[in-house]
Amino acid sequence: MIHHHSIGDARITGVIEYSGPTHDPAFLYPAVDKAERDAVLKANANWLAPNHYVPHMDRLIVTIQLWVVHAGGNVIVIDTGVGNRKPRPAERMDRLNTLVMPWLEAIGAGPQQVTHVVHTHMHTDHVGWNTVEKDGKWVPTFGKARYLFPKDEFDYWQALYDKGDKAINGGSHVDSVLPILDAGLADFMDGKSEVAGCLAPEPVPGHAPLMLSFRIRSRGEEGIFTADIMHNAIQIARPDWNDRYCLWPDKALASRAAVLARAAERGALIMPMHLGAPYCGYVRRQGEGYMFEPAA
């Protein structure tokens, strides 16, 4: 599935790998008191349902998607999902067989067309389509592209790998990152310099060591690829809720607060990786907090 948007002259397409009611709120937000969690979800069910929460199942909808940017002659993929046929410990990600590649080809982002693959961070569900299996080996999917990784985060995971942990990030470091380095296609981002001709990084550490969001502007319009500062829209109304995947909880809270404030101030379209339909939208001030306005 695909959905289209624009930021000035830039054409933006979201490619959905999968989306569904996959997460028990108690699993995703274990640090939140059960009574508070239940009360907040019930109070917000009128706008969370049916795209972000299914009340009768008590399940949160989480999406895995890739973002594609056509701008200035470049074809940029931002994060690459889980990937097909990758063995993963999480059942919902294990050995997928999706139509991501035909959708990428349909929108002009096939293996020979992509110029840049930009990573907000390097978790399992953000690097998978970096590689595909060929003759029993994992090889780069986009052979003409430069793959850009946050330098500090790569160093963090590589240090664990060098110490003997070959299963980091569910095995994705081995099958979806290292083959890119072996092919000589990797570049590293310092979190300060513009990349791919149009993306300005804004560091948002916490969920991952040097996670980056990316700001794109064109003809007075702005969008922010917000990475994993949230896993569900409820975190716009309750930015004090950290999900279970935050490596550094205090930094995650600060990064989420900063991104929401920027998005509301700038009127920017936020494009997270895991939001339910319509998969992107706007952060609006509501009293002392925020509300979510879905994109058209």
* Stated length of the chain: 296
Number of domains in the chain: 1
For 152, how many CA atoms within 13 A lie in the half-sphere containing its CB? 13
pLDDT tens digits along 214-243: 999 999 999 999 999 999 999 999 999 999
**Per-residue pLDDT at 254:** 98
Average pLDDT over residues 32-57: 97
Separation of alpha carbons 104 and 111, rounded Å: 8
**Per-residue pLDDT at 152:** 94
Average pLDDT over residues 198-218: 96
Parent domain of 203: 2-294
Contact of 236 with 292, CB cutoff 8 Å: yes
DSSP state of 241: P
**Per-residue pLDDT at 179:** 98
Average pLDDT over residues 168-195: 97
Give the start-end residues of each E strand in the chain: 2-7, 10-23, 53-54, 59-71, 74-78, 116-118, 131-134, 137-140, 146-150, 186-189, 200-203, 212-218, 221-227, 269-272, 281-286, 289-294
**Cis before 179 (ω within 30):** no
How many beta carbons lie within 10 A of that of residue 62, not counting itself?
A: 22
Domain CATH number, residue 88: 3.60.15.10
CA-CA-CA-CA torsion sign (183, 200, 211, 6) = negative
pTM of the model: 0.96
pLDDT tens digits along 59-92: 999 999 999 999 999 999 999 999 999 999 999 9
Question: What is the percent of the chain where pLDDT is above 70?
Answer: 100
Question: What is the percent of the chain where pLDDT is above 90?
Answer: 99
